[in-house]
Amino acid sequence: MTSIRLRFRPSSVSGKEGTLYYQVNHFRRTGVMGTSYRIYPNEWDEEHACIVISGSVCCDSERKAVLQLYQSKINMDMDVMREIVNERENTIRHYTLEDLLDVLRKRTNSMSVFRYIRSQIDKKNRMGCYGTAKTYNNVLRCFTKFREEKDIAFDGMDNELIQEYEAWMLHAGLRRSSAACYLRTLRTLYRQAVDDGQAENNDIFRKVHVSVGKTCKRAVPIETIRMIQSLDLSGKTSLDFARDIFMFSFYTRGMSFIDIAYLRKSDLRNGFLTYNRRKTFQSLVIQWEQPMQNIVDRYAGQTYDSPYFFPIVRGETLADRLSYEQALQRINRSLKRIGTLIGLPIPLSTYVARHSWASIARNMDVPLSIISEGLGHDSDKTTQIYLASLDKSMVNKANVGTQKFMAPELLNEAEKYDNKVDVYSFGVLLFWILTNGQMPKVTIVEIGTGKIAKIPDTVNKFATKLIKDCWTFQPSQRPSFEEISQSLKSNKFKLLDLSDKEVKEVENFVKNH
């Protein structure tokens, strides 16, 4: 026969906290198990062997919260120990007090689910991973509400409980995608508990939906990007700032807002922006373009003494994280207003810039691996899931190269186009060759409106005119390849200002090859 009682041992020093411990009686033998719970004498009810929480004894709200936590842990400890005793008495005929105490200590020293999740939240906050800590905290609040504030041991986590949790969330009005997100995060925490030796490696999530479902379309075509860019927002500072952040994200291959907020001036070196994604820690390199510089220049006065490009955060503290979250909310509210101004059928947000860059790149037949690298995804599979919700129409059927080689009609998703798109690309190739590998200083948004890049003075007049002719906005006004060939022959292929001797050497080289 075994019994377990909670006992209180007062401190030998007057006015100090005493200790709670468990007294285990097994066939007239007595053993004790210590705890870390400390209470004052007036917080103990000897008759009922429990902590006094209600009434006039405890008037401090913080102390009351501590006592409630103690009592919750004690209740859980007692449930676990009674279960162990019942299991032993039903399956093992003879066992000693020492054997029992050993098992009880191992089980009661393990963390409960709530306590473990809180420890992971604290850990992420110490690491500066505030976003992950917030996600974990949201999961803890949801799971705690489902459990009606009753903590549970990892041993109590099974398939049935997880299925009940999923059903409870759906019945409470959560979307299936939101419920799946909570379940995925809880599964992550459970697997971490397994690695830490707090839980058994059981597949308790196999009967619930944790996969990423298809989400609503959050990408817009290039025409909408141009509408956002050209919208008159004079005198509307908050909307103008939100538009700048949106366009900067689009220009930088869909950079996430958190990466924009923490983007340092020192990340820009030798014409390239090099930064690490805060979500995956992946290093990304982006060529710095003039439109990006134009945007950051507008905020140089506000960030002259800050290491960051934008006036969003000033450091890596928890307060800065709060500033980031508040800025994100303000910007998304402003973007939503911008979307309303241009009649956009979907809510405009920072995510739309990221999705739109991926969608436009995909529609230009940019390989999946390149889009994945541009977005900073860990794998192509992630990108496939990411693109699954985007528009399935494919406008560019030709095997084209990078975006800056694209003719305006392709960027504008014209239904019909001819080989004059190749003439445009030839002009870009000619520019690239004659400038020693430089790309035209113009964005794809500007290309779509007919703007052309400035051609350096180092390119001679004949080559400059030929490139400009190839870049004519109206396809019908561009020369044909036959006309280009005739023009080159008439000018003796002088794309560079060469001496007569150099021209002769080129002619001989062409004849011999």
State yes or no: pLDDT of 395 exceeds 50: no
Mean pLDDT of all residues in 257-262:
94
Mean pLDDT of all residues in 277-281:
79
State yes or no: pLDDT of 110 exceeds 80: no
For residue 108, the model assigns a pLDDT of 60
Q: How confident is the model at residue 242 (pLDDT cuts 50, 70, 90)?
A: very high
For residue 389, the model assigns a pLDDT of 44
For residue 217, the model assigns a pLDDT of 57
User: Distance between CA atoms of 427 and 474, rounded to whole angstroms?
Assistant: 14
Contacting residues for 436 by C-beta, under 8 A, at least 6 apart: none
State yes or no: pLDDT of 449 exceeds 50: yes
User: Distance between CA atoms of 157 and 139, rounded to whole angstroms?
Assistant: 15
User: Distance between CA atoms of 71 and 188, rounded to whole angstroms?
Assistant: 28
User: Distance between CA atoms of 243 and 348, rounded to whole angstroms?
Assistant: 10
Residue 39, helix vs strand vs coil: strand
Q: Which residue has the tokens 């162990």?
A: 84
Q: Do residues 438 and 432 lie in contact, with contact meaning Cβ atoms separated by under 8 Å? A: yes
Q: Which long-range contacts (CB under 8 A, 24 or more apart) does 232-241 make?
A: 233/338, 238/330, 238/334, 239/334, 239/337, 239/338, 241/331, 241/334
Q: Which amino acid type is present at position 90? A: N
Q: Do residues 117 and 136 lie in contact, with contact meaning Cβ atoms separated by under 8 Å? A: yes
| pTM, full prediction | 0.51
Q: What percent of the chain has pLDDT over 70?
A: 87
For residue 240, the model assigns a pLDDT of 93
Q: Do residues 434 and 457 lie in contact, with contact meaning Cβ atoms separated by under 8 Å? A: no
Q: How many C-beta atoms lie closer than 10 Å to residue 404's C-beta?
A: 19
Q: Which amino acid type is present at position 169? A: M
Q: How many C-beta atoms lie closer than 10 Å to residue 375's C-beta?
A: 24
Mean pLDDT of all residues in 309-335:
90
Residue (of 113, 84, 94, 68) closest to 24 by Cα position? 84
Q: Do residues 250 and 357 lie in contact, with contact meaning Cβ atoms separated by under 8 Å? A: yes
State yes or no: pLDDT of 374 exceeds 60: no
Mean pLDDT of all residues in 91-106:
74
Q: Do residues 318 and 252 lie in contact, with contact meaning Cβ atoms separated by under 8 Å? A: no
Q: How confident is the model at residue 394 (pLDDT cuts 50, 70, 90)?
A: very low
Helices (H), 158-310: 159-171, 176-195, 222-230, 237-251, 257-261, 290-297
